[in-house]
Structure 1
């Protein structure tokens, strides 16, 4: 049995492709740059067609949502589906999925998403002083958003202080007292 291969990070891969194309544009002639960009487009079309087929086969051959849900819940597969405009979920659903994958669904809520600009405003609940740390791992949230909802181009964070819970009121019998002296 072979060990599972570590999946490349979609955000880092996208950045690397951009860096390589920029470097080629800075060093190469216009024809070479055009050929490199066309190569990227041809490969994107090829992989997009393959992913389309995968999604069609999963939907057609399985009667349950298990395989489909597993594909949509995987950050790498999800980012590829979005990249090829094949993801069946809308942006709001994928943003929620990103927050859940970063284990921040309790600490972070979506305040507003503007699809035209890609601006997302998140509301983070600050710790209520319970000593449990509270809050969200912002870099994990932003990384998950880049995979599940790459149309989010900027993230604004707002923090709402959560009032500490009042101390627990213990109601019990009165402690025994010393008998009065006679």
Structure 2
């Protein structure tokens, strides 16, 4: 594998959708044997790569220090580990890691509804921001959804609530001359 091939960006979510589309096309082709063979091929490859990933994690966990730490922060590697149910971090830790990767939006996890897969987030002040809620729109939700797709795919929907506005600033000063 060349360095250029190894560095090619891969989006796990798009790849998963592509695999599903191909399997659906084969199923719709009317050849049940071909569709079954394709599904068996995908399962076999998943098992093979899952076993390889498990071995890598095992070998890394026996090494001194924290050699797996950079891997857990990588979106592609994290999504593969989650896909194979091998990610060593729990869901809440992975959610925090995902939200930490979108620092331009100040988002805090409020609640996760396991039944619906909905994560409720609170949008606060962005780093250096004014707290006026400008970060709480679709941009924050889209950034969170993209990061969560890699680190915590069990989150199927994101609800962003704006942080309550603080009290109105009341200026107290001297009255203009003649206003008394």
Rg larger in 1 or in 2?
1
Matched, 1:152 2:158: no
Aligned to 1:79: 79
Structure 2, unmatched stretches of 5+, are 173-180
Give the alignment's Cα RMSD to 1 decimal: 2.8
- In the alignment, which residue of structure 1 is the partner of 2:119? 120
30, 33, 36: which one aligns with 1:34: 36
Question: Displacement of 1:119 after TM fit?
Answer: 1.7
Question: Number of residue pairs matched?
Answer: 166
Return the alpha-carbon distance in structure 2 between the equivalents of residues 130 and 142 of structure 1. Answer: 22
| Superposition pairs of residues 1-182 of structure 1, within 5 angstroms | 2-3=3-4, 5-61=7-63, 63-65=64-66, 67-103=67-103, 107-125=106-124, 129=130, 134-135=135-136, 137-163=140-166, 166=169
TM-score normalized with structure 1 length: 0.79
Once structures 1 and 2 are overlaid, which stretch shifts more, 92-101 or 15-24? 15-24
Runs of at least 5 residues in structure 1 that lack an aligned partner in the other structure = 170-182
For residue 175 of structure 2, what is the aligned residue in structure 1?
Answer: none
Tell me, in whole angstroms, the C-alpha distance in 1 between the residues paired with 2:8 and 2:24.
27
Q: Distance in 1 between matches of 2:43 and 2:21?
A: 16
Q: CA deviation at 1:31?
A: 1.4
